[in-house]
Structure 1
Amino acid sequence: MVTVRFDGSFQEWRVRARALLQSCVAPHELNWASDDESTGLFDEPSPAPSTEGGPRIRVPRQLLDELEMAARYRTEQRWSLLYRVLWRVTLGDSSARTVGDIDGSELHGRIKAVRREAHHLHAFLRFSPLQTSDGPRYVAWFEPAHDILPWAAGHFAERMGGNSWLIATPEEGVCWDGQDMYYTRPCPPPWRQLAQNAADPGGELWKAYYESTFNPARLNRGVLESNLPVRFWKNLPEGMLIPQLMSRARAGAQRDGQAERVAARSGKRIGRDAKQAD
């Protein structure tokens, strides 16, 4: 077994993969490892990439895009699958990219998970304003399941105009100064502290609004947790309210279509809907 060490980036993996394809090294002969990973006792280091020209490797542009997207999926075998698909396609087996194939199904499953995690970032990240004369005007803390930050963070640059902001995660961070984006891995400790300790002055107002508009009569816990996974609750202002509101609904509040303190006021009472939703 040959161990291929690289810096853990898709760009470096692509360079090493092309050299291995030109040398006709099969997937089962390789063990991919980033620089900070340990390897097996009997693994041999891979030879340095050859500078001599080998057979020309033609790879469809769409396949490279799919491989780059799937590379953001965190798993111990992320690079092995990518090389296996690449190997099969270059040998003429285009079925390796299809969902009906074992490798193709896994590839597209990872792509789907990565895109969904990017949606989670866009939907559940909350910026807090900073009252400082220099540095970012807004900061946020997020804990993604996959390596989507530098790719998905451009969404906020397009929507927040010239406002500067910073997003910190346990592994990496990005900062937008209003014109350019800066990415760093690992995330600097000051960035992490700034994002985790920032207080949102509008947080209490948002929680009051969320509680007053929560509809216990339409609560469907499975749908709620599917659309708003539990792992995000701890970093959302309303996250601490959700278990209380769900418990209150199970205790009898589901007969009303609004919060108890709202339902108790004079006026038309909204009753339980026949259909159950989130």
Structure 2
Amino acid sequence: MISLECDNLFSTWREQARWLLSHQVDPSQVSWGATEVADLFATDQAIPDTPGPFQARIPKALIDLLASAACYHGDQRWSLLYEVLWRVSHGDRTAMLAGDKLGSELQRRIKQVSREAHHLHAFVRFIALPPEAGPQLPEYVAWHEPAHDILHSASQHFIGRMGRHRWMIATPLDGVYYDGEQLIHQRRCPEAWQQLAQNIDDPHSAMWLTYYSHIFNPARLNPKVMEGHFPSRFWKNLPEGKLIPGLITEARTGKQKDGQASLIGAKPGKRISSGQG
């Protein structure tokens, strides 16, 4: 068994996979893991430094698929990619397709990565730092907890939307900082970035919470659909998240029939009779 470590970098894995493929190393004979795992399963065989004789033509479409699926956090993260690569390089392109068992898992991972990128765009909440913070700090900061490695690629979305403003997104793993001209990605998010993003107070949070609570319509509540579009794992990092459990409880205990939030229903107004005459 050959055990390798790519430090969760697609570029490193790609070089390793190219070398393995050139030596016709079967997927069953290689694994990727942490250093201590590599020591446990390391091979006793001498590993050549130079590429092997086998050459394969790999379609660019496959490289794009593998690069996207590489962002997925899960079991056999890198081994699955090599198994797909192996089959396609030996003429079996069904490994790229959803109709194949392996291809189905590949496509599922790509879909999950794409969905997680959408979640970043939808649920990041930038908070403005006060002007006196100074030019050495970003103007806007945000904290986000993605399930997959989508921050670097998906945060490109905000460059056009935020103009020349300086902004930063910190996560438990990595972070990005846009200085007004270029996007800087830190694979290990600096602790100072994490502290800043998690501890800043939003001066406009009260106004936002008032707005959110007033537009909530209990008559249209569908918790299953809501969870599908707005997963509860994001609630804790959103200002409106603290309101959602209470609003759901309120809707379930009778407010759904009113079709309005309790604060709206309590306001005085003229009742329209439903009787005939």
- TM-score normalized by the length of structure 2: 0.92
Residue equivalent to 2:275? none
What CA deviation, in whole Å up to 9, does each residue of 1:131-160 have, x standing for no partner?
Answer: 211220000000000000001000011210
Q: Indicate how the Cα distance of structure 1 residues 247 and 45 shifts in structure 2: closer, same or farther if over 3 A, else same.
A: farther
Residue equivalent to 1:133? 134
Percentage identity across aligned positions?
Answer: 52
Q: Find the aligned partners of 1:138 and 1:243 in 2 and give their Cα distance.
A: 28
Q: Find the aligned partners of 1:3 and 1:262 in 2 and give their Cα distance.
A: 62
Residue equivalent to 1:192? 194
What CA deviation, in whole Å up to 9, does each residue of 1:152-182 have, x standing for no partner?
Answer: 0000112101001010000000000011011
1:254, distance to aligned residue in structure 2 (A)? 1.0
Residues 137-216 of structure 1 mapped to structure 2, 5 A cutoff: 137-216=139-218
Q: Does the aligned pair in 2 maintain the 1:5–1:46 contact within 8 Å? A: no
Q: Does the aligned pair in 1 maintain the 2:22–2:51 contact within 8 Å? A: no
Residue 252 (structure 1) aligned to one of 222, 247, 254: 254
- Secondary structure, counterpart of 2:169 in structure 1: strand
1:55, distance to aligned residue in structure 2 (A)? 3.2
- Secondary structure, counterpart of 1:187 in structure 2: coil
Q: Does the aligned pair in 1 maintain the 2:4–2:38 contact within 8 Å? A: no
Residue equivalent to 2:25? 25
Q: Does the aligned pair in 1 maintain the 2:5–2:38 contact within 8 Å? A: no
- Secondary structure, counterpart of 2:40 in structure 1: coil
Q: Find the aligned partners of 1:47 and 1:233 in 2 and give their Cα distance.
A: 51
Matched, 1:86 2:85: yes
Matched, 1:4 2:26: no
1:123, distance to aligned residue in structure 2 (A)? 0.2
The answer for unaligned runs of 5 or more in structure 1 is 271-278
Residue equivalent to 1:15? 15
1:259, distance to aligned residue in structure 2 (A)? 1.3
Structure having the higher helix fraction is 2
Q: Find the aligned partners of 2:46 and 2:180 in 1 and give their Cα distance.
A: 44
Q: RMSD across aligned C-alpha pairs, in angstroms?
A: 1.8
- Secondary structure, counterpart of 1:6 in structure 2: coil
Q: Find the aligned partners of 2:36 and 2:162 in 1 and give their Cα distance.
A: 38
Equivalenced residues, count: 269
Q: Does the aligned pair in 2 maintain the 1:263–1:269 contact within 8 Å? A: no
Residue equivalent to 1:50? 49
Residue 90 of structure 2 aligns with an amino acid whose one-letter code is L
Q: Find the aligned partners of 2:159 and 2:188 in 1 and give their Cα distance.
A: 21
Q: Find the aligned partners of 2:46 and 2:181 in 1 and give their Cα distance.
A: 42
Q: Find the aligned partners of 1:121 and 1:69 in 2 and give their Cα distance.
A: 16
Q: Does the aligned pair in 1 maintain the 2:27–2:83 contact within 8 Å? A: yes
1:5, distance to aligned residue in structure 2 (A)? 2.6
Tell me which moved more, 84-93 or 5-14: 5-14
What CA deviation, in whole Å up to 9, does each residue of 1:30-71 have, x standing for no partner?
Answer: 01125x553363432786663356333211111100000000
Q: Find the aligned partners of 1:65 and 1:37 in 2 and give their Cα distance.
A: 30
Residue equivalent to 1:67? 66
- Secondary structure, counterpart of 2:5 in structure 1: strand
- TM-score normalized by the length of structure 1: 0.92
Residue equivalent to 1:99? 98
Q: Does the aligned pair in 1 maintain the 2:27–2:79 contact within 8 Å? A: yes
1:265, distance to aligned residue in structure 2 (A)? 2.3
Q: Does the aligned pair in 2 maintain the 1:3–1:44 contact within 8 Å? A: yes
Q: Indicate how the Cα distance of structure 1 residues 209 and 268 shifts in structure 2: closer, same or farther if over 3 A, else same.
A: farther
Q: Find the aligned partners of 1:53 and 1:158 in 2 and give their Cα distance.
A: 45
Q: Does the aligned pair in 1 maintain the 2:58–2:89 contact within 8 Å? A: yes
1:269, distance to aligned residue in structure 2 (A)? 7.1
Q: Indicate how the Cα distance of structure 1 residues 217 and 171 shifts in structure 2: closer, same or farther if over 3 A, else same.
A: same
